[in-house]
Structure 1
């Protein structure tokens, strides 16, 4: 059966809608007013853009009090957008602030609900080297890996009832190499945030690795210290 790509193509055809999707790619839920400000359009114009993205199934909106909040429609949509990023040129950088935010994204970020950028790829590589993940068929968790991750304190039962795979290789659009996604990727990111290993950047959706995070990731996870120094 052939697919009608024009529906998605139309939804992605406006720069303002691209800004909205980029803002939501960290898995956050944001009010329409914030998305309008980010896209530098009026609330009424933003409402039209958001309706188009909702109709295309790319985002969903929910009412909270007097505001309507929007988020990416789910991990499958986020993964598709992340992969589409390989075909897209980078947005033009016209200020130092934008340049700093772009570098933050390349260093470490959330790709919907899992770690991406140099940090995400380095962490995935470290788990492969340690034998916690196997690359033979994409990325698969080994028995050794499941035991060690459980010992560290990751709740591997989280989301087990869902149809989402435990592990999935997600192509990283800045590193051009895969990082870990799936339920395990989400649990790992949640653990890193809860433990204070990674912290939200002051602006944008990038992440910064804390001193405690550098110590834990290098000593207990085997992430290369030189890599962490650049994150």
Structure 2
């Protein structure tokens, strides 16, 4: 047996179509019940429970009990980044599914990637931050510059507090639909919180789409024009 991580084990967990659909559903960052995930995967509840047990044992999904219900969520940001990266490869080289149109168009414009903004608007935000020198980007890491810290703090985002947290503050996440990076990490999550808290956009209740209001769209575009 070769040394190093067992890629085949993780690949087998993700590669089953039902489990892949469950993991994709959990990319919205919301914990779901086994019944809800069974509907997402198109399988019976007993079959869904069997798949979820394998995902939990494999470390890709965690479960929490609340009252009589058990809620499942991705095990962490590392798993979410893996799913987004695999989605990018599937989009580039895999067979294409039939797209129903309006909902997918909304997903491509703006969506939640676990807990941060993805899609065209997420990529536009990342491009602006790098082009304006608000993020310092090198081969090793991604960090806010002094100007970037002031820019985020003008949006009431406490960069200092995020820096002290255990979670990585800035990460570049390859966007599956645009195939360029968007901002992940605690700073990316804080940006999405700011966008929704200010009423610029809302989460679509039936999908991962983030729907901007006309006023919010203008405010977001002004933000990237500064």
TM-score (norm 1): 0.87
8 A contact 2:199–2:216 mirrored in 1: yes
**Conserved 8 A contact 1:128-1:135:** yes
Note the 1:124-203 alignment, pairs <5 A. 124-137=126-139, 139-203=142-206
Gap runs ≥5 in structure 2: none
- Partner residue in 1 for 2:222: 219
Using the TM superposition, give the Cα deviation of residue 159 of structure 1 relative to its aligned residue in structure 2, in angstroms.
4.4
Deviations along 1:10-65, whole A, 9 cap, x unmatched?
Answer: 21232111111111012111111111112121111110011111111111111111
Cα 1:33–1:189, aligned 2, differ >3 Å: closer, same or farther?
A: same
After superposition, residues 39-188 of structure 1 pair within 5 angstroms as 39-88=41-90, 89=94, 92-93=97-98, 96=100, 99-137=101-139, 139-188=142-191
C-alpha distance after superposition, 1:159-213 (max 9, x if no partner): 4443322211111111111111111111111111111212122531111111232
1:19-38 equivalent positions in 2, closer than 5 A = 19-38=21-40
Q: Do the aligned partners of residues 139 and 160 (structure 1) sit closer, same or farther apart at CA in structure 2, a change above 3 Å counting?
A: closer
Deviation at 1:157, TM superposition (A): 4.3
Q: CA RMSD in A?
A: 1.9
Q: Number of paired residues?
A: 220
For the residues of structure 1 that align with 2:164 and 2:109, how far apart are their CA atoms? 32
Q: 1:105 to 1:158 in 2, by over 3 A?
A: farther
CA 1:87/1:218 → structure 2, altered by over 3 Å: closer, same or farther?
Answer: closer
Which is further off, 114-123 or 31-40? 31-40
Give me the TM-score of the superposition, normalised by structure 2: 0.89
Helix, strand or coil for the counterpart of 1:191? helix
Question: CA separation in 2, counterparts of 1:112 and 1:148?
Answer: 24
CA distance in 1, matches of 2:157, 2:163: 13
- Write the distance in 2 (CA, Å) between the matches of 1:222 and 1:43: 49
Q: Is the 8 A contact 2:155 2:194 kept in 1?
A: no
